[in-house]
Each structure stands twice: as structure tokens, then as C-alpha cells.
Structure 1
Amino acid sequence: MNISVVIPLLNEDESLNELHDWIVKVMQANQFSYEIIFIDDGSTDNSWQVIEQLSKKNTSVKGLRFQQNYGKSQALNAGFKIAKGKVVITMDADLQDSPDEIPELYKQITENDLDLVSGWKKKRYDSKIRKNLPSKLFNAAARKTSGLKLHDFNCGLKAYKKEVIKSIDVYGEMHRYIPVLAKNEGFQKIDEKVVQHQARKYGTTKFGMDRFINGFLDLITIWFLSKFAKRPMHLFGFLGSFMFFIGFCFALYLGIDKLFFNPVGRLLTDRPQFYASIVAMIIGTQLFLAGFLGELILRSKRNDARYKISMEVGQNNN
């Protein structure tokens, strides 16, 4: 199979038929073998009913339905697990991503032997204050922390070599930083392509301030994981040893001062330095233990499911 198109969605019943027909038209024009995987992320409209109808009409359509809204990252992760195409393309369901970009994205992956091609919506039709400004802040921070010189980390239109999506674990709001996750797994051949962005035709945007905040928190997480995920003791052990050393030095100073210079003076417990040394040594010990526990957890890592699928269609289709 040439291409798997993975489409996460939430309450997009108005756009699904049009999007499906557009993708099929592109695939047939280019003679691609394909599958379309819709992941319904807990929609409350008729999105799942539309997916079921599309699956009956087109055996290349598959669908997963979450029991509730788990988020775009979980939806992508579920789609990646069942994708069979040599190249996997992700896109949003709101018709703002153009399926006409698929042939060029496929060509970049296969002909240039790239691991990942990220779309760049150079000209956007979103609200400048609500989405454009936050996206620019995200992208600037992501470039700085990851070292990847991509203009648009948050673009939903991306193409991946199959090996990439089978190697990464997407969770939280990490869908924004999939190129960084891929880089951390050793996939270095990453490029970008300017893609057409279209104004939303149906429904309303799902972007909110909570996603803005969560995205930045996840950026901090991914920076930490990039630096210390494989060796948490390198960070926590260093900080713990440093804090313990400071506390020990305070305690040593107080002990020498009490024994040799001020034996009949005030009690050690009356001096604030005594409590500072105790707190520093306790914090140092806790940080060191945190690093040690991190190493143990890393070695006994489990892959726990973060979502529950209530229905699926098309899984027996070839």
C-alpha cells in the first residue's frame, strides 16, 4: 500500500463527505493504493455515522471511535498503530488542509529518501490574535529548544515514512512536536514544504487558551525528555549532589564554629543557618532519589493505554 491518510476529528460531520471525495479523487488521479483512517475523538454530532456510511461505500475507509474526547495526540497515536501505508500522511478534517498536496508530499518522502516532511502554512487564514500569534510563539520556542529549523511545527499536514510513526509515542499535546519526537528517535532526515492553507468552511475552531498553555507545558516536557530522558540521574543526581554539598558545607561550618570558636554561645538550633543546611541536605537527598527512581522506571517502562476505543469500522478491509 502506498499511502495511509490519518485524520483525527472532533465534531466535523459537515466536512467529512467532501474531504473523503477530495482525497479519493487525488488518489485515483495518481493511481495510489491507499487507506483513509478517520479517528473520531469523542464527537457529539453525526461524525461517526458519516464515517460508517463512508466505510460501507469505500472499502479503503477505516474508522476508530473513542469513548470520549482524549485529544488529538491520542487520536493520531491510535491511527498510527493501524496504518499500513509505506507513507503516512496526517491532515485535519476541517478542509483547511488541501489533499492536493498529497502527491508532492509522497514524492518528497519516497524520491528524496526523507523520514518526515512537515507542512508550512506560509499564508494563513486563521484569526491573527487567536491562532497566528500563539503559533508564532510556539514555533519560535520549539525551534530554539529542539534545534529543528522548521517554520510551522503545528501544521496538521505532514508526511512520514512508515518506520517513523511506528517508532514514536504521541501523547499529551505532543502532536505539535512530532518532528522533535522523530528526531529524538534518530530520524534526522526532516524537511518542510510550503502548503496551501484554506479558510475554515464548516464549524468552528477547537483552539482555546487551554491548548495554548498545555502546548507550552508540553514543550518544556519535550525539552527535558530530549536532554535527560535516557539518563534522568544526570540531572537529578547532579542537582541533588549539589544541594547536599551546600547543606553539608553549612553544617560543617556550624560544627567547627561551635566546637572551636563559640563553645558556650547560643545553641545551633537558634541559628537560621542550621535549618538552611538541614533543608538543603533533605532536598538534595530527595533529588538524588528522584533521579534513581527515574532510572528504575526507565528500565521497567510499560506502555499503558491512554484511551478506549468504543467502535471501529473497516478493520478487515485490505
Structure 2
Amino acid sequence: MRPRPPAPPALALPRRFRRPRLLIVGCGDVGQRVLTLLAGRWSVRALTSSAERLPALRAAGAVPLIGDLDRAPTLRRLAGLASRVLHLAPPPTHRDDGRDPRTAALLQALSRHDTTRRLVYGSTSGVYGDAQGRLIDETWGPRALTARARRRVDAERAIARWVRRQAARAAEPARSALLLRIPGIYALDREGGNPLERLRRGTPLLEAQDDVHTNHIQADDLARACFIALLRGPGGARAINVNDDSDMKMGDYFDLAARLAGLAPAPRISRAEATQRLGPMQLSFMSESRRMDNSRMKRELRLSLRHPTVASGLADLQRGD
């Protein structure tokens, strides 16, 4: 009997099939900054409900997918697409029951094929509620005061249950989720994130004795935190504060921006006057005071901030950029 000829060598997969597969849900400003970091090294799908955004997403390096988190049947194609998911989509705006059906619909779609190993969720520091200026870490339980923040709490809990259900089935490898609790995002090139916009409108701030402690993160640092969270971090469902090292009140932040840009500072009013002059959204941000500890971010993500303070992040204002 003649010996069997040796089997031909296995063909290596093309490079594009070996790249990490990522699905971005809610690819707005921060999502597009993440795409810039990836620079084509990952295979990225980006979910959008707007056909008008398809060209922009393609130009940023993603393969766009049409789907609507408010219409679950349109999400079926998401199953099995990616091993990592970056979920930055907000809950519905007008919903008073504190629920986030969008996150529930996404998790249901992803569960059709159990291929997602890591999910990173962009939550909000608003889940903490009012800490009355105290320094708090992730062990400070959710005490959301607004309907907007309660919807985020609902999303966090749904994701934690999603992770636990798979762990209970002893499936390997296990899912994990990082719940990034994000404060005020700023950047000079971010719509709604440039403090000069508010200064130029002349929106008043609270007097010093009534002012609240706020927390910040520069948009590019947040994008880096999202990217690193997709790569490493603890298992299970883990909350992580993503904020810089600044310790300041809201008025001090805007006064700093005004001073760097050579603008007049915003007028100051009492809290009683603010309730008469400002809208509910603005008042909600002036009703919660907390200082967030970012030690877990530095320890577990090993993230070194490029803008550790808002003075660093706003430095370009002094150069007139």
C-alpha cells in the first residue's frame, strides 16, 4: 500500500478575517473618535437608524448597518456579528417609567448567537444622584434623582443580568461588561461640549455658596477609555468611573474657560433665582453635587489621561485655537 501523501498546508486566513470584530451602537461624537483610534485595524460595524449618516460612517472607517433600537425586528442581523460591542446609544428621551427598552432590545438581539465576549456601556455619573459634594467611588450605590438617570440605572442592571445569565450556564468563554460612568464630556471641537458656547449665550451660574461640584472628562480621553475597556478589564459586570483628576465646582470650570479665552465670566445668581430663570434640564445639573474617585479606572484599565485636568484640556483656548 502506498503511503498517503501529506496533507497540503492550511491556508492562512486573510488579514481582514483575523482583525478584532467590533459593533458600535450609537456612533456619535465619541464613537467616531474611537474609530479614529482604531484607524482601520479592527473590523467595525456601526448601527445607525439614519440613512443620511451612512456616508459619514463609511468615511470614518466603519461598515454601517441600518437598524433601529426602537424597533426590535430590525436588530436581528446584529446577532453573531462581533465579539466586542461598544454601546453608546442613549435611552429614549421621553419615558417616565425609568426603563430603557433600547438596551433590552439590543441584549435580546445579541443573545440570539452567543458570540459577544465583552460589552462596554457608556452610562452616566447621574446614576449616583446627589452626594452633597462628597468624594464617592463605584461602591456608592445608584441613587438616581431624575428620570433620565433612572433609565441609565435600568440599562446597567439589564446588562448585569445579561452577564449573570450566561455565567449561570457555565458557558465558556464568559461574557463581561464594563459600565463606564461618564460625567460632563468636553472638547473644543465637540458640539455641546465647548464651554464657550454657554459663555457666549450668557447663561447664568450659581453663586459660590450655592454652587455644586462637577466632574469632567475630555472627549478624546473618553474615547481612549472606551477603546481600552474593549481590550482589558475585570470579568463580570463592573462599574468604572471615567473622569479626570479635577476637583472643582461648576462655576469655577466656566470661569476658567472664560479667563483662558479672554471672555467675561458668566453672571452669578442665587439658587432661588435660578429656579425662576432656568429650565428643568439646567436645574437638574445644578441640583447634584459630587466628586468622583477615578482610582478604579487607573488601576483596572491602566489608563493614563492625556488631559488629567480641565486646565490641560482647555489650554488651547489661551492660544486662540
TM-score over 0.5 (shorter chain): no
Higher strand share: 2
More helix by share: 1
TM-score by length of 2: 0.30
**TM-score of the aligned structures, taking structure 1 as reference length:** 0.30
Q: Which has the higher contact order (CA 8 A, sep 6+)?
A: 1
